[in-house]
Amino acid sequence: MRCARCDFKRMDVDRTCRDTAESILRQRKCPECGHKVFTVEVELPDGAAQHTRTGVLKRLPGFLRVRFF
């Protein structure tokens, strides 16, 4: 993951906590400029994505949006 401020090639994970049963909240920090961001990782159900012939992971229709309630 690249830094949005300085475009450094790596962001380190500062803190991790489980937001809900299906998602993980992580605070990331750029070691170059100190910029901090939060990311939310959501686990998709089985069959929600598949690899293409070129090896790219693609979400299937119906799983293109992530909804937060």
pLDDT at res. 52: 84
Residue 69 has pLDDT above 60, yes or no: no
Residue 68 has pLDDT above 60, yes or no: no
Residues 34-66: tens digit of each pLDDT? 999 999 888 777 777 788 888 887 877 776 666
CA distances for 63 relative to 5, 17, 29, 58, angstroms: 30, 24, 29, 10
Residues 9-29: tens digit of each pLDDT? 999 999 999 877 778 999 999
How many CB atoms within 10 Å of residue 5? 13
pLDDT at res. 7: 93
Task: Answer for the pair 56, 26: CB distance below 8 angstroms, yes or no.
Answer: no
Q: Which domain holds residue 8?
A: 1-69
Number of domains composing the chain: 1
